[in-house]
Amino acid sequence: MRIVKAIPITQEAFAPFGWFYHMDKPSGYPLCGEIHQFFPDRLLADSNHRVGYSPILVKKPEKMVITQQEYHTTTWEMIMPLDDDMILHVAPPSAGTVIPDYVQAFIVPKHTLVKMNAGVWHLAPLPSEKEMLTAMIILPECTYANDCTVVDLKAEEQFEIVK
Is pLDDT at 138 greater than 90 in this prediction? yes
Is pLDDT at 49 greater than 90 in this prediction? no
pLDDT per position as a tens digit, 82-110: 999 999 999 999 999 999 999 999 999 99
Domain, as residue range, for 31: 2-162
Secondary structure class of 156 (helix, strand, coil)? helix
pLDDT per position as a tens digit, 61-89: 999 999 999 999 999 999 999 999 999 99
Count of the separate structural domains present in the chain: 1
CATH number at residue 15: 2.60.120.480
CA atoms within a 13 Å half-sphere pointing along the CA-CB vector of 163: 14
pTM for this predicted structure: 0.95
